[in-house]
């Protein structure tokens, strides 16, 4: 992506975000007592200032983008896309959602084992057997440290409980 | 408390096996973390943080400082052996380090990197000991308006120099400040962006945000392109660094260390610019100018002294003012907070034993770095052989455990995942993450000091210009903005001229 296009995209995004904050999010989600005499001390003041600054930064990005030369080629620093990259990224998002869903039900150790194994196979590991061994050993070792050394109450889930 | 009493109090805290083990272990973890391309000193510190919860404050903080120091040096190993900087700070080391490796002098380059790193580290630590106390005693006279202008200046400079563009840095900092408003209002206790969720009322967990921002994007980048190519590690060769090499480079090492100390003590500049500036100064002053870039040992010494000179100095604003100088010190501030400590001028009065304990530990860390670094240089090929596609799932699992352990709260794991995607989007759109994180940490302080100043003055904004300190910070903020805008305008002008010439 060229620097110009990047600035224009970010600028438009920042202006839209600023608008959403000022007209929708702040009135809806920031509570303020009705009897505040001084706006500067109101809980609304700081979010509005920051939303305004977001808009100003957005306009600045658009202005600087428009001043930049039009260059057709992409920058070489853009991350290279492997085959099926978007699908894998979606797969990773699903693994994260699954992790959040299973953590309280299966417990952290078993969920982490699944999470490790699925992620390793998602990135096409060349050591599948080692991946399975690590998927079992690493969560267990971390459980041992956090539960028995650090004294953290690691969630155990509803099924198999560890000592 | 006299200096000797403070020193003795500090010594009583650190003069035990546990502290030295934490320090040595930290340096070892840092060197390994810094040496693995794709990991970084930042990620190593972030992933080590959860393991410090169960430790004594001094032990935990020494462990993290060890990781920090080790990580900065560790980055130079892959920079020299496989032309891949383990940390951005080691980018300048490639310029002469890799050509030396190609000539069969990798061992000599790595040896010089280690000697220069240890020397610069020691100078930087001494600077911290000398200046931090003085700055803290000066900062005791700061009130809310002074702190407000100081934090504003810090955020300006961090936003300005962290990335390639002031505007993208500024946007990043503003988004960080916005995220910091989540939770209960500081004065009235009303809800701000909590969406009716009680988990949000205390604000977003800092550790979840930082791990999400700095570790998860690496996982997602790996998922996006799993076959990230690794260069082939070169052999160390038979040449080792000699005392004559060290003597020849000594002036460059000291100069680089002082550059590192100066730039490190300014919040936000960091190790990479310091390394490049030190390198260019060494080249400018060298008798062997022509050899730079072709495998000159003095170039390696200068760049390593530049980046390691920053390591102790970044702790000056952290300890004396409570302002993190870079991302790693922002993580270390989290360790202080977890243990119920608030870095800043008052810490030099309330926790003087801890401060002096840290100073003693830091001096020892330079010695640890020398011995552990020597071993790490020889053992790098084992580190390089770690399959990255097994390391990344391991990092993910470690993140899950670490973030959960902070508050025993699964919600924080969700925050980490969400921030991971935010961090990945920032990476793709080339928005620097450092201003975001530092603004997220400093946001409540900035707002708090602003509102306190307004309460003090009955909402008269003139209080923000009440004395020489506030005027000084307003002036340097204005100068910084002007300088960065001017650089940006010049760069755009150059780009347009180049495009016109090309087309």
Cβ-based contacts of B447 with chain A (< 8 Å): 46
Domain presence at residue B289: yes
Whether B417 sits inside 8 A of A125 (CB atoms) is no
Cβ-based contacts of B181 with chain A (< 8 Å): 46-47, 50
pLDDT digits 0-9 by tens, B129-181:
989 888 888 888 889 999 999 999 988 888 877 767 888 999 999 999 999 99
Q: Give one DSSP letter per residue of B355-397, joined into a string.
A: HHHHHHHHHHHHHHHHHHHHHHHHHHHHHHTS-HHHHHHHHHH
Scored b (16 or more CB within 10 A) or e, A132-145 reads bebbeebbeebbeb
Whether A99 sits inside 8 A of B431 (CB atoms) is no
- Residue A38: Cβ-neighbour burial (10 angstroms; 0-12, 13-18, 19+): exposed
Q: Which residue has the tokens 């990259």?
A: A85
Whether A150 sits inside 8 A of B171 (CB atoms) is no
Coil, helix or strand at residue B286: coil
Element (H, E) at B70: helix B57-74
> What local confidence, expressed as pLDDT, does residue B231 receive?
54
Cα–Cα distance, B196 to B216 (Å, whole number) = 27
Cβ-based contacts of A104 with chain B (< 8 Å): 410
Strands B191-192 and B183-184: antiparallel
Q: What is the mean pLDDT of residues B438-464?
A: 91
pLDDT digits 0-9 by tens, B95-134:
899 889 888 888 899 999 999 999 999 999 999 998 988 8
Q: Give one DSSP letter per residue of B245-270, joined into a string.
A: HHHHHHHHHHHHHHHHHHHHTSTT--
Which among A31, A46, A82 has the least Cβ separation from residue B447? A46
Element (H, E) at B80: helix B76-81
Cβ-based contacts of B398 with chain A (< 8 Å): 138, 142
Cα–Cα distance, B225 to B216 (Å, whole number) = 14
User: Tokens for B43?
Assistant: 């990620």
Whether B224 sits inside 8 A of A14 (CB atoms) is no
Whether A108 sits inside 8 A of B168 (CB atoms) is no
Q: Which residue has the tokens 């061994």?
A: A133
Compute the nearest-CA separation of A119 from chain B (Å). Answer: 6
Whether B165 sits inside 8 A of A64 (CB atoms) is yes
Cα–Cα distance, B96 to B318 (Å, whole number) = 33
Domain presence at residue B248: yes
Least confident of B245-249, B370-374, B473-477, B499-503: B499-503
> What local confidence, expressed as pLDDT, does residue B229 receive?
47
Domain presence at residue B311: yes
User: Tokens for A74?
Assistant: 């992409």
Scored b (16 or more CB within 10 A) or e, B325-349 reads bbbbbbbbbbbbebbebebbbebbe
Coil, helix or strand at residue B215: coil
Which among A57, A126, A153 has the least Cβ separation from residue B171? A57
pLDDT digits 0-9 by tens, B407-433:
899 999 999 999 999 999 999 999 988
Compute the nearest-CA separation of A54 from chain B (Å). Answer: 6
Compute the nearest-CA separation of B492 from chain A (Å). Answer: 6
> What local confidence, expressed as pLDDT, does residue A72 receive?
52
- Establish, for the pair of chains A and B, how many residue pairs have beta carbons separated by less than 8 Å: 206
Domain presence at residue B502: no
Cβ-based contacts of A92 with chain B (< 8 Å): 219-220, 223
Domain presence at residue B252: yes
State percent of chain B over pLDDT 90: 45
User: Tokens for B248?
Assistant: 């020849």
Domain presence at residue B472: no
For residue A51, what are the contacts with CB-CB under 8 A and spacing of at least 6?
A18, A21, A22, A26, B178
> What local confidence, expressed as pLDDT, does residue B449 receive?
93
Compute the nearest-CA separation of B2 from chain A (Å). Answer: 36
pLDDT at B503 over 70: no
pLDDT digits 0-9 by tens, A111-139:
999 999 999 999 988 899 999 999 999 99
> In which region does residue B292 sit, left (phi positive, over 0), alpha (psi from -120 to 50) or beta (all else)?
beta
Average pLDDT over chain B reads 88
User: Tokens for A43?
Assistant: 């809980």
For residues B261 and B123, the answer to whether their CB atoms sit within 8 Å is yes
Return the C-alpha torsion angle B420, B58, B441, B222, nearest 10.
-20
Domain presence at residue B489: no
Cβ-based contacts of A119 with chain B (< 8 Å): 219, 223, 392-393, 396
The upper half-sphere exposure of residue A86, i.e. CA atoms within 13 Å in the direction of its Cβ, equals 0
pLDDT digits 0-9 by tens, B294-342:
889 999 999 999 999 998 899 999 999 888 878 888 889 888 988 888 8
- How many distinct structural domains can be found in chain B? 1
Q: What is the mean pLDDT of residues B230-250?
A: 76
The number of beta carbons lying within 10 Å of the beta carbon of residue B374 is 13
Which among B51, B54, B430 has the least Cβ separation from residue A151? B54
Q: Which residue has the tokens 């998922």?
A: B223
Compute the nearest-CA separation of A74 from chain B (Å). Answer: 13
Cβ-based contacts of A43 with chain B (< 8 Å): 185, 187-188, 190, 192
- Residue A59: Cβ-neighbour burial (10 angstroms; 0-12, 13-18, 19+): middle
Compute the nearest-CA separation of A89 from chain B (Å). Answer: 6
For residues B383 and B36, the answer to whether their CB atoms sit within 8 Å is yes
Cα–Cα distance, B462 to B415 (Å, whole number) = 39
Structural domain span for residue B275: 3-232+242-466
The number of beta carbons lying within 10 Å of the beta carbon of residue B445 is 19
The number of beta carbons lying within 10 Å of the beta carbon of residue B432 is 22
For residue B461, what are the contacts with CB-CB under 8 A and spacing of at least 6?
B454
Whether A127 sits inside 8 A of B167 (CB atoms) is no
Backbone angles phi, psi at B184, to 5 degrees: -85, 140
> What local confidence, expressed as pLDDT, does residue B338 receive?
85
> pLDDT class for B384, splitting at 50, 70, 90?
low
Least confident of B3-7, B272-276, B366-370: B3-7
Mark the ranges of chain A whose per-residue pLDDT is less than 50: 77
For residues B470 and B146, the answer to whether their CB atoms sit within 8 Å is yes
Domain presence at residue B477: no
For residue A100, what are the contacts with CB-CB under 8 A and spacing of at least 6?
B410, B413, B414, B417
- Any idea what DSSP says for residue A68? S
Cα–Cα distance, B495 to B188 (Å, whole number) = 50
The number of beta carbons lying within 10 Å of the beta carbon of residue B14 is 23
Coil, helix or strand at residue A31: coil
Element (H, E) at B144: helix B144-161
B269 against A149, higher pLDDT: A149
Measured at the CA of B113, the angle between CA B111 and CA B116, to 5 degrees, comes to 105
User: Tokens for A53?
Assistant: 């600054």
Q: Which of B453, B400, B73 is nearest to A110 (CA)?
A: B400
């Amino acid at each position: 992506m060229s620097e110009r296009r990047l600035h224009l995209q970010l600028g438009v995004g920042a202006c839209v975000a600023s608008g959403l904050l000022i007209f929708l999010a702040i009135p809806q989600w920031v509570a303020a007592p009705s009897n505040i005499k001084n706006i500067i001390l109101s809980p609304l003041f700081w979010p509005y200032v920051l939303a305004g600054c977001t808009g100003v930064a957005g306009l600045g990005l658009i202005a600087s983008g428009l001043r930049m030369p039009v260059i057709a080629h992409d920058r070489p620093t853009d991350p290279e896309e492997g085959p099926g990259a978007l699908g894998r990224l979606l797969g990773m998002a699903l693994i994260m959602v699954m992790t959040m869903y299973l953590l309280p039900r299966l417990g952290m150790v078993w969920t982490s084992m699944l999470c490790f194994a699925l992620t390793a196979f998602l990135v096409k590991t060349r050591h599948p057997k080692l991946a399975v061994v690590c998927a079992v050993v690493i969560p267990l070792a971390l459980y041992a440290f956090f539960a028995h050394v650090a004294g953290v109450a690691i969630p155990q889930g509803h099924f198999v409980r560890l000592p | 408390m006299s200096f000797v009493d403070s020193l003795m109090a500090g010594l009583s805290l650190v003069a035990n096996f546990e502290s030295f083990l934490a320090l040595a272990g930290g340096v070892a973890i840092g060197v390994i973390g810094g040496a693995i391309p794709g990991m970084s000193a930042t990620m190593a510190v972030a992933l080590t943080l959860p393991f410090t919860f169960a430790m004594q404050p001094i032990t935990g903080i020494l462990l993290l400082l060890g990781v920090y120091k080790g990580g900065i040096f560790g980055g130079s190993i892959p920079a020299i052996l496989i032309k891949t900087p383990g940390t951005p700070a080691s980018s300048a080391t490639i310029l002469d380090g890799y050509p030396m490796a190609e000539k069969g002098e990798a061992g000599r380059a790595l040896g010089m990197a280690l000697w220069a790193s240890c020397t610069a580290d020691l100078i930087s630590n001494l600077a911290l000991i000398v200046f931090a106390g003085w700055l803290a005693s000066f900062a005791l006279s700061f009130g809310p308006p002074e702190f407000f202008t100081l934090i504003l200046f810090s955020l300006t400079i961090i936003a300005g120099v962290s990335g390639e563009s002031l505007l993208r840095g500024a946007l990043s900092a503003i988004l960080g400040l916005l995220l910091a408003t989540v939770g209960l209002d500081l004065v009235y206790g009303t809800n701000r962006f909590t969406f009716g969720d009680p988990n949000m009322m205390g604000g977003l967990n800092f550790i979840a945000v930082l791990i999400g921002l700095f570790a998860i994007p690496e996982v997602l980048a790996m998922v996006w392109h799993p076959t990230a190519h690794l260069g082939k590690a070169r052999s160390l060769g038979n040449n080792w660094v000699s005392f004559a090499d060290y003597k020849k480079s000594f002036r460059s090492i000291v100069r680089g260390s002082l550059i590192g100390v100066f730039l490190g003590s300014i919040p936000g500049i960091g190790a990479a610019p310091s390394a490049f500036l030190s390198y260019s100064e060494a080249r400018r002053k060298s008798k062997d100018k022509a050899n730079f870039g072709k495998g000159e040992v003095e170039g390696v010494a200068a760049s390593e002294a530049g980046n390691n000179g920053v390591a102790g100095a970044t702790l000056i604003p952290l300890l004396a003012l409570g302002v993190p100088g870079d991302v790693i010190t922002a993580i270390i501030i989290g360790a202080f907070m977890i243990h119920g400590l608030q870095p800043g001028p008052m810490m030099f009065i309330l926790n003087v034993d801890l401060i002096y304990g840290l100073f003693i530990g830091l001096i020892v860390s330079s010695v640890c770095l020398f011995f552990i670094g020597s071993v790490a240089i020889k053992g790098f090929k084992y580190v390089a052989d770690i399959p990255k596609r097994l390391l990344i799932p391991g990092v993910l699992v470690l993140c899950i455990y670490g973030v959960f352990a902070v508050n025993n709260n699964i919600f924080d794991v969700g925050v980490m995942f969400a921030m991971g995607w935010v961090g990945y989007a920032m990476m793709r759109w080339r928005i620097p993450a450092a201003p975001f994180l530092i603004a997220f940490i400093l946001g409540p302080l900035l707002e708090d000091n602003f509102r306190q100043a307004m309460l003090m003055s009955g909402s008269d904004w003139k209080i923000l210009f009440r004395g020489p300190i506030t005027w000084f910070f307003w002036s340097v903020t204005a100068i910084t903005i002007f300088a960065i805008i001017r650089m940006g305008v010049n760069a755009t002008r150059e780009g347009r001229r180049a495009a016109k010439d090309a087309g």
